[in-house]
A and B are shown apart, each in its own frame.
Chain A
């Protein structure tokens, strides 16, 4: 009897595996390889030319700048939010926990529109901003703000579940031993959450680099000034310059792959730490 069952399960298994690879190939691998093929179709020289162009370089710089600033600010806000939610009891806690997830469920285009209305020339804030010569819309601050908004949940989310699971008796123990708030955070809390934090940072980075919708509305598409890499790709594509669009996509793809490997590595560290804790 057993060999037959074994044969059946092997059959089912290989069928399922074939299907999985097929779907994976059609949905992921094929498009990815087309990016590479198309992007390099006019040779490495063309690829290099597209990339070394000042407009593309400025887009890359802006993307990196917006990403780094929003990741730094989101780490600060995310750690503070996770700390408040997991260590304290306060009125409106569940509301705050729900609101943190809001950027996940709101379409980025709405975020772009909200910021345009809030800081644009029709807004009541506009004269005030102009007094200090603060151009938010169609400028770098707006792009950074929109990126922060759409990437806010990643850091906080990665930390909250882990910190809830770990509880706060270690912090209480440190306080009883005489530690001040700063020492508690750096010597006790931070070492326990560092891998989850790095995980959140990679997710946040990946999303910030690729953000299109919200930034598209806010940026105003000024080449060399307010264009990020995804926006530059769209412009090139609309100009029927598909090869150049794919060339720039390759850059984004490489950056995404690096982030993916870092994330994978963090996840392994996290499972290692939590399985230790369970013993």
Chain B
């Protein structure tokens, strides 16, 4: 299903949390709403779901204006940040809830409900935990139950609020990949909110970068990384170094720097290595440029020649690769 959001505004009292939002989400896409906390991304998700009303503007699902439609007519699969599983129901009861409460005319037979719930349990690989209660599950298991419960009503769109934030790092990586694969399989239009740029870049088809209630940029992960539209987007997407010499200003990422231990070449600046940290595939080196008070961070592959002979306090020459001049 396509989602079309047109000139949407939201005020909380005097606070303008969403300012003139225009966004098109294409059928089958996996979209990330990315931004720092308080940027309005969760409000936007809740408005799409119908949990909040916009102050003005419209939302279309497949050309149909649903701005004034009740939540129950929208058929939204929604996953809450802390999953919001029904604590007094078993896993199976949680998953079948959306089917069991349907009006009698639309409700499938008890055996169909059971069959469908079991199928969903298989899909999220939790068949052996059908009779457990939510407080007997790990974070990752809860997340998968929440997903299966949302999928039970054959949603027209899947909305996920910070789906991985309540999980620890290792589980987060596994589930991220799993969710991405699942999305490819079922091709359901999905929107997820995150403040973690790595997460957005890794699984989203397109990323919507938001800041202070406005959309700063919309694009594929590659477009956004290669051609950040403005200062905010550039800074938000990763570590940044600033360095100025005379009239020249340089802004560059830690990996966008070449180091040399040989004496001055053209375009290289002198610095002292004040910290060296091997981090697996790359080594992080903190440099204190000779003509600047602010340290800069360089990340070089650990296979870099002469790296092993570099010690704290040594003189080093560096050259920013990309001149992103501001």
Contacts and interface: CB of A to CB of B under 8 A. Distances in A.
B87 A177 contact: no
Interface string A156-191: 000000000000011011111111100100011001
A174 B97 contact: yes
B5 interface: no
Most chain A beta carbons < 10 A, residue from B77, B84, B152 = B84
A180 B72 contact: yes
A31 B38 CA distance: 61
Interface in A183-213: 183, 187-188, 191-192
Contacts of A188: 86
Contacts of B71: 175-176
A177 B153 CA distance: 7
A187 B135 contact: no
B193 interface: no
A277 B134 CA distance: 9
A279 interface: yes
Given A172-B51, A191-B88, A192-B88, A179 B82 contact: no
Contacts of B150: 176-177
User: Chain B binding site: helix, strand, loop or mixed by DSSP?
Assistant: loop
A239 interface: no
Contact of A178 (B51, B86, B98, B135): B98
A178 B87 CA distance: 18
Contacts of A187: 86, 97, 101
A160 B99 CA distance: 31
Nearest to B135: A276
B95 to A, nearest CB: 10
B121 interface: no
Contact of B97 (A177, A180, A277): A177
B133 to A, nearest CB: 8
B98 A177 contact: yes
Contacts of A174: 86, 97, 101
Given A178-B101, A178-B153, A173 B86 contact: yes
B84 A172 contact: yes
A279 B72 contact: no
B298 interface: no
A175 B72 contact: yes
Interface residues of A, number: 19
A173 to B, nearest CB: 4
B80 A173 contact: yes
B76 interface: yes
Given A175-B71, A176-B71, A178-B101, A276 B87 contact: yes
Interface in B41-56: 49-51
A180 B88 CA distance: 19
Contact of B84 (A169, A178, A180): A169
Contacts of B101: 174, 177-179, 183, 187
A187 B78 CA distance: 19
Chain B interface size band reads: 20 to 34
A258 B145 CA distance: 42
A277 B87 CA distance: 8
Interface string A21-32: 000000000000
Interface string A64-86: 00000000000000000000000
Contacts of B97: 174, 177, 179, 187
A183 B98 CA distance: 11
Interface string B70-92: 01100111101010111110000
B315 interface: no
Nearest to B133: A276
B50 to A, nearest CB: 8
B206 interface: no
B84 A170 contact: yes
A33 to B, nearest CB: 43
A277 B83 CA distance: 13
Nearest to B97: A177
A33 B150 CA distance: 60
Contacts of B49: 176
Given A177-B149, A178-B101, A277 B86 contact: no
B207 to A, nearest CB: 25
A158 to B, nearest CB: 18
Contacts of A192: 87-88
B84 to A, nearest CB: 4
Contacts of B77: 176
Given A177-B98, A178-B98, A180-B72, A170 B86 contact: yes
A274 B270 CA distance: 61
Nearest to A187: B101
A276 B137 CA distance: 12
B312 interface: no
A146 B55 CA distance: 45
Nearest to B149: A177
A172 B80 contact: yes
B153 A279 contact: no
Contacts of A169: 80, 82, 84
Interface of B: 49-51, 71-72, 75-78, 80, 82, 84-88, 97-98, 101-102, 135, 149-150, 152-153
Given A172-B84, A176-B51, A176-B78, 18 more contacts: A169-B82, A169-B84, A173-B86, A174-B97, A175-B71, A177-B98, A177-B101, A177-B153, A178-B75, A178-B101, A178-B102, A178-B153, A179-B97, A187-B101, A192-B87, A276-B87, A277-B87, A277-B135
8 contacts: A169-B80, A173-B85, A173-B149, A177-B101, A177-B152, A177-B153, A178-B101, A183-B101
